[in-house]
Structure 1
Amino acid sequence: MRVILVDDERLALLQLTKMLEKMGGIDVVGTYLNPIEAIEWIGELRPDAVFLDIHMPGIDGLKMAVQIQENCPAIQIVFVTAFDQYAVQAFDLNALDYVMKPLHMDRLGRAVQRLQDRVRGDVNVTVSSSPQSVLIRCLKTLQFEMPGQKSERLKWRTSKAQELFVYLLHHRGRVIARDELLELLWPDFEERRAAAQLYTTIYQIRQSLQRNEVGSVTINSGSLTDGYSLDTSTVRIDTEEWEHQLKQLDSPEQHTIDKHESLFNQYTGDYLSDYDYLWAEHERERLRRLWLHHAQNMIRFYTRQGMHSEAIRINLKIQQLNPVFEESYFSLMKLYDLSHHNAAVEEQYMLLTETLKRELDSRPDDRVAQWYQGWKSEGLVYNR
């Protein structure tokens, strides 16, 4: 696993480098005192993760993380800092972890384990990717696809059974402590009653899986800890396969655009978006960023090729799945301007204004508003 480290303190960089190298499986491919220099090299080095301090001169770690995610959304961010007051902001940015200084091997080790689990997910796809395996679909809604059959939803005895299964699937391969499950699903129950509900629900899930011939997915009881884990080693999972294939592709070119189109269309909706599970939001946002970054690369390719109708199609699909993504409206305004569809430019700006007001009680970004006002007053082609 390839990582880079960014910290304005040389001793802190040396300490973190030594600690990571002791753990094994970590290749520190770059250490940087200057965050601007690190940003310049990230695209070249293509690390799996960045270990990032927050308080640095020039650009702080939070702003740097935003730039990294905009340009390379597949890279994982681990903040390493002496300040605990930024944790909420860090996790709002979908950071994988937030490790406090002074560093301790056990705490850093847990962060590395989480990172390895995330990165290893791509590798494990090749183990269970046989087309004869059961495919679990997590994009938009939970479905199961048996070999040679259409995808179908399972009928669960209760909504708690469904959420418990999905939570274990979300944390597949890890033992989830019983207390964590009780707090998640039955927070208002007395412990004994909540435990009874948990045991009953686990039994119901196992019965549902057997009844629907999904016996390859099993729930295991932790042998050393009081908890449960979901074994999905012999099945396929659509999000893992999609992300794995996406990372194998370089930027869109004429000879690869069909593969890019296929992956773009496989994204049928956000991760578990049919459910209001707050605990899934981090992964939902991470995968959404990957898809949007991929879509924008395709738009840039089609625009360079003069294939404006194709670029417009991609933008319209983005609006369908993510109606508050402002960049899609701006891109469409410029594309319609190039095609001299003035009414369509007006329509996109009005639609953006109404959507932001309704959904976020906000207004278009200044650069979008200025572009629109300039286009409207001067009648120029503003494709900048």
Structure 2
Amino acid sequence: MKVLLVDDEPLALIGLRMALDGEFDDMEIVAAYSNPTEVIAGAMEHAPDVVFLDIHMPEIDGLKLARQLQAIIQGIEIVFITSYDQYAIRAFELYALDYIMKPVERHRLLQTVMRVKEKLNWKGSMKPPKSDSSWICCFDRIRFRHPGMESQTVKWRTSRAQELFAYLLLHRNRTVSRSTLLELLWPDIEETNTVQHLYTEIYHVRQTLKRYKLDMISIQSGEREAGYRLDIGEARVDTEAWEQAVKQLGQLDASTVDAYERTLHAYEGRYLGQYEYIWAEHERERLRLIWLYNMTRLSEFYEQHGMQDKAIKVNRRVQDLYPEEESCYFALMKLYDAVGSKIEVEEQYLLLQSRLGSELELPIGAHIVRWYEQWKLITA
């Protein structure tokens, strides 16, 4: 895998290079640039598979540079590095593979590199999906679905078997070490006392897959190290298919808006949202940001074209799934004001006060308070 690094801070660039060099033998860093004006020429020369790119650089906007890279090198993957949280959502306009917050932490970098490898391996082995494929559903909770049938909520023998399968599924097609799984499932017990328990949970997972007629999914022992690898065969994962569908939507206009509606409506809730798995939080947040970003675009499109009723429906959907998302309340307040519904504006503000202030003990954004106070003066 050929890698190109871009960061206008020389020390940060050196640190990232050392971190990658020290961890991954199969990764070749073909070039590293602290001067962003040299990046395009370097990319054309080296044709990297992935670029680790700082978003916030004084001489050039990292997002603009990413667009240029994607235009000249087909299939290039982008990983953004940023010190500023607000850039994370903007990054998904380009459908970056991932983003990392500074300072870069080792475990987070390892997670990202594994994701890059999985994506590149997936591209290399990608086959057209079969219409009769079985599905593993991960929106909200784990479910299995066979062709022509309703999805089934899975009944696991134990909660550890469920978490074991979910973890292996997220890290599928690569061996997860036995020590990692033992630490995940039995963090407070010595490894020597839990190995047999792991064998038992692996057996439970295999039996569950067999019971649900998912024999194409296999758990294999690691060949080079003590661990396990999940292979889902020709089964498909709904969250992965959904993300690919979003990436293929293209420009949002009158000819694609219906496709945007259908695809975004297929987002059924948080990734493994019913399970409090800390290790799933990054994937959960990443998919949430992709959805929120595109729902915001859809709402703005409807508003610009005078379809406030549809924009309201979009924001109501966001509110239903993420009642803590402040922006949808503000969007609804302005939309209801535009259609002359004073009661609804008041209701949204009171609802925001209740959910953020009383339930979450968070302050309402100052810009929302200012808007509401000015609106009250105008409409009094």
Q: TM-score per shorter chain, which class?
A: 0.7 to 0.9
| Partners of 2:55 and 2:66 in 1: CA distance | 14
**Partner amino acid for 2:109?**
D
| Partners of 2:212 and 2:285 in 1: CA distance | 31
The match for 2:90 is 70
State whether structure 2 residue 204 is matched by structure 1 residue 216.
no
Distance 1:151 1:128, change over 3 A: farther
The match for 1:164 is 164
State whether structure 2 residue 22 is matched by structure 1 residue 9.
no
1:63-212 equivalences in 2 (<5 Å): 63=84, 66-72=86-92, 74-77=95-98, 86-87=103-104, 97=109, 112-118=113-119, 123=123, 127=127, 129-212=129-212
SS at match of 1:144: strand
Structure 1 residue runs of 5 or longer lacking an equivalent are: 53-60, 99-109
Distance 1:264 1:31, change over 3 A: closer
Match of 2:31 among 18, 27, 44: 18
SS at match of 2:136: strand
Decide whether the 8 Å contact of 1:128 with 1:235 is kept in 2: no
Q: Deviations for 1:297-329, whole angstroms, at most 9, x for unmatched residues?
A: 100110011000000001000000000111100
Structure 1 residue 242: Cα displacement: 0.4
State whether structure 2 residue 37 is matched by structure 1 residue 37.
no
Count of paired positions = 350
Structure 1 residue 142: Cα displacement: 0.4
Structure 1 residue 118: Cα displacement: 4.2
The match for 2:74 is none
Structure 1 residue 25: Cα displacement: 4.6
Structure 1 residue 265: Cα displacement: 1.0
Structure 1 residue 27: Cα displacement: 5.9
SS at match of 2:273: coil
Distance 1:46 1:328, change over 3 A: farther
SS at match of 2:252: coil
Distance 1:149 1:334, change over 3 A: same
SS at match of 1:49: strand
The match for 2:257 is 257
Aligned-residue sequence identity (percent) comes to 34
State whether structure 2 residue 266 is matched by structure 1 residue 266.
yes
The match for 1:315 is 315
| Partners of 2:65 and 2:345 in 1: CA distance | 36
The match for 1:107 is none
| Partners of 2:232 and 2:183 in 1: CA distance | 24
Structure 1 residue 234: Cα displacement: 1.5
Decide whether the 8 Å contact of 1:175 with 1:229 is kept in 2: yes
The match for 2:38 is none
Once structures 1 and 2 are overlaid, which stretch shifts more, 43-52 or 328-337?
43-52
**Partner amino acid for 1:117?**
E
The match for 1:106 is none
| Partners of 2:323 and 2:239 in 1: CA distance | 22
TM-score, reference length from structure 1: 0.81
| Partners of 1:218 and 1:24 in 2: CA distance | 36
**Partner amino acid for 1:208?**
T
Structure 1 residue 194: Cα displacement: 0.6
Distance 1:27 1:317, change over 3 A: closer
State whether structure 2 residue 367 is matched by structure 1 residue 344.
no
Distance 1:166 1:224, change over 3 A: same
Distance 1:330 1:166, change over 3 A: same
**Partner amino acid for 1:136?**
I
| Partners of 1:161 and 1:31 in 2: CA distance | 39
| Partners of 1:2 and 1:248 in 2: CA distance | 25
Distance 1:325 1:2, change over 3 A: farther
| Partners of 2:354 and 2:180 in 1: CA distance | 41
**Partner amino acid for 2:78?**
A
Decide whether the 8 Å contact of 1:9 with 1:33 is kept in 2: no
Distance 1:117 1:66, change over 3 A: farther
TM-score, reference length from structure 2: 0.82
| Partners of 2:242 and 2:10 in 1: CA distance | 39
Once structures 1 and 2 are overlaid, which stretch shifts more, 207-216 or 308-317?
207-216
SS at match of 2:220: strand
Q: CA RMSD in A?
A: 3.3
